[in-house]
């Protein structure tokens, strides 16, 4: 969690790649939640 939070303080946006077979994983959901909480724009592919 701390690693993601540190990175979120250094970026302007987030690009999330989600596998079509596996779908979103727990860490993906955590990263998206952190990005949205900080007001970052997210692109989901």
Domain boundaries, the chain: 2-44
Question: Which pLDDT score, from 0 to 100, does residue 2 have?
Answer: 86
Whole-model pTM: value is: 0.74
**Residue-wise pLDDT tens digits, 13-35:** 999 999 999 999 989 889 999 99
> Between vectors from CA 2 to CA 28 and to CA 11, what angle results, nearest 5°?
70
14 Cβ contact list (under 8 Å, min separation 6): 31, 32, 35, 40, 41, 42, 43
Question: Which pLDDT score, from 0 to 100, does residue 5 have?
Answer: 87
| pLDDT reading at 39 higher than 90 | yes
| pLDDT reading at 1 higher than 80 | no
* 32 CB-contact burial (10 Å; exposed 0-12 / middle 13-18 / buried 19+): middle
| pLDDT reading at 4 higher than 90 | no
């Amino acid at each position: 969690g701390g690693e993601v939070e540190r990175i979120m303080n250094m970026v302007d946006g987030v690009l999330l790649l989600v596998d079509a077979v596996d779908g979103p994983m727990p860490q993906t959901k955590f990263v998206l939640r952190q990005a949205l909480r900080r007001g970052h724009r997210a692109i989901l592919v």
